[in-house]
A and B are shown apart, each in its own frame.
Chain A
Amino acid sequence: DQQVKQNSPSLSVQEGRISILNCDYTNSMFDYFLWYKKYPAEGPTFLISISSIKDKNEDGRFTVFLNKSAKHLSLHIVPSQPGDSAVYFCAANFGNEKLTFGTGTRLTIIP
């Protein structure tokens, strides 16, 4: 049973435009949400996070939005750059030692 879902396996966006990656979850008890970015042949790296008491967190070009009533979060990247081409994973946490990851979305930025 997939508790964290990324329903879009891939996404292509023109350079300079906004990229929006989506993530849905089923368990309302999740307290924290994280986004990771992964390049080929490398391990995932942490990108940005948000707690369930907030609805938005911003870090430079990256903003994460949380809609608790819809059990939905999204990552906005603006403007998109070629170096943003990667696989993005969302993850959720009950505030304990384990993360539950989604299946990932491959983002391709078109020059």
Chain B
Amino acid sequence: DAGITQSPRHKVTETGTPVTLRCHQTENHRYMYWYRQDPGHGLRLIHYSYGVKDTDKGEVSDGYSVSRSKTEDFLLTLESATSSQTSVYFCAISDGGGYNEQFFGPGTRLTVL
């Protein structure tokens, strides 16, 4: 299994508070991704990174920011959490290439009250 961890695994927070989720990899993969999974929507890309300090938006990036200061760490920040951001968040990594097979972390369940 790819070495990828997420922290925290569960979090309950209140509307308006900032939240940061961390993804850590030990595979030295170039690409890192943040997805959210919601019923009826599958996996939707929030942001991704193609190198240290290089990031780009996905299809549902509003309300989220990311940072990657080291190859192994990719942070997702909700500056002011809203109830619509209650979801399960997955980090993924890949080496790119044609198929771009991605390896996923175990997920973080976030509840915004």
Where the two chains meet, the residues of A that have a C-beta atom closer than 8 Å to any C-beta of B are 6, 9, 31-32, 34, 36, 41-46, 49, 51, 89, 91, 93, 95-99, 101-104
Contacts and interface: CB of A to CB of B under 8 A. Distances in A.
A41 B107 contact: yes
A103 B40 CA distance: 6
Given A44-B90, A49-B101, 13 more contacts: A32-B99, A36-B104, A42-B107, A43-B105, A44-B43, A44-B104, A51-B99, A97-B96, A99-B102, A101-B42, A101-B44, A102-B42, A103-B40
Nearest to A96: B100
Contacts of B104: 36, 43-45
Given A101-B43, A101-B44, A103-B42, A46 B101 contact: yes
A51 B105 CA distance: 25
B98 A32 contact: yes
Contacts, number: 62
14 contacts: A32-B100, A36-B104, A43-B90, A46-B103, A89-B42, A93-B98, A95-B98, A97-B31, A97-B50, A98-B45, A98-B100, A101-B35, A102-B42, A103-B42
B27 to A, nearest CB: 14
Contacts of B18: none
Contacts of A6: 42
Interface in B64-113: 90, 92, 94, 96, 98-107
Given A103-B40, A103-B41, A104-B42, A46 B102 contact: yes
Nearest to B35: A101
B107 A43 contact: yes
